[in-house]
């Protein structure tokens, strides 16, 4: 029994270590733990479902966050960021993005509005820094799309995740939305460890 309990504890540790390193990555608590940076009047804010009448609901949970701009507040690259302690090594950063551009109820080019995921393994807070790695933008297809950044050998210490809006023109509405932002260290090795421990636990149960 003690051996089985030890294996169960090790399995819990292995799978728990797979958890998101970010706090409030799903924006269930608004923008808490995220720092907004505004350019040219555009701004990031927490959303529930259907922000400003746009047909989008969260990927998970009941919250998400978005960059909104309109007319003279457009043409901005406002962003939010969160700094966290990265244990180093293999680091996987991901998010889900959604975007829409609207001009008098008519959609514009999908490349007018986007939302983009960035990762600075050196922990800076400037989105223009050369150390920031950017994923391909999610453009205004009005569909949730996932983007992932993988850094095989990130240094240990402070690192930063950025979510940036891309609003090119001063049109009626520019909407960039993000949800389920995650940073997962060593996902491959942790899952292998969890699978191995689960197999060991199964062997013990069969022997009993």
Q: Tell me what pLDDT residue 192 has.
A: 47
Q: Tell me what pLDDT residue 4 has.
A: 45
Q: 18-185: what fold?
A: Jelly Rolls (2.60.120)
User: What does the pLDDT look like over 125-171, one tens digit per residue?
Assistant: 999 999 999 999 999 998 999 999 999 999 999 999 999 998 877 66
Residue 31 DSSP SS3:
coil
What region, left, alpha or beta, does residue 71 occupy, with left being phi > 0 and alpha being psi -120 to 50 degrees? left
Span 43-65, average pLDDT: 78
User: Rounded distance, CA 78 to CA 32, Å?
Assistant: 17
Q: Enumerate residues 6+ apart whose C-beta is below 8 A from 67.
A: 42, 43, 44, 76, 78, 79, 115, 164, 165, 167, 174, 175, 176, 177
Give the pair of three-digit tokens for residue 84.
């966290």
Q: Tell me what pLDDT residue 56 has.
A: 84
The phi, psi pair for 185, rounded to 5°, reads: -85, 140
Q: Name the one residue in this structure whose structure tokens are 């292995």.
A: 14
Domain ranges of the chain: 18-185
Span 44-63, average pLDDT: 76
pLDDT confidence bin for 72, thresholds 50/70/90: low
User: What does the pLDDT look like over 12-33, one tens digit per residue?
Assistant: 444 444 589 999 999 999 999 9
């Amino acid at each position: 029994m003690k051996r089985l309990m030890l294996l169960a504890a090790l399995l819990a540790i292995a799978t728990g270590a797979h958890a998101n390193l970010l706090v409030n990555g799903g924006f269930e608590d608004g923008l808490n733990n995220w720092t907004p940076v505004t350019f040219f009047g555009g701004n990031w804010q927490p959303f529930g479902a259907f922000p400003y009448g746009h047909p989008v609901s969260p990927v998970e949970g009941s919250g998400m966050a978005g960059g909104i701009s309109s007319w003279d507040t457009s043409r901005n690259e406002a962003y939010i960021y969160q700094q966290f302690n990265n244990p180093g090594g293999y680091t996987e950063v991901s998010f889900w993005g959604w975007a829409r551009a609207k001009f008098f109820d008519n959609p514009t080019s999908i490349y007018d509005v986007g939302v983009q995921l960035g990762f600075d393994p050196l922990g800076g807070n400037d989105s223009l820094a050369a150390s920031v790695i950017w994923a391909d933008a999610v453009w205004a297809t009005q569909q949730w799309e996932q983007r992932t950044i993988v850094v095989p050998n990130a240094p240990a210490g402070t690192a930063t995740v950025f979510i940036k809006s891309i609003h090119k023109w001063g049109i009626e509405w520019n909407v960039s939305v993000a949800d389920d932002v995650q940073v997962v260290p060593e996902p491959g090795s942790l899952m292998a460890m969890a699978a191995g421990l689960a197999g060991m636990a199964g062997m013990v149960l069969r022997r009993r």
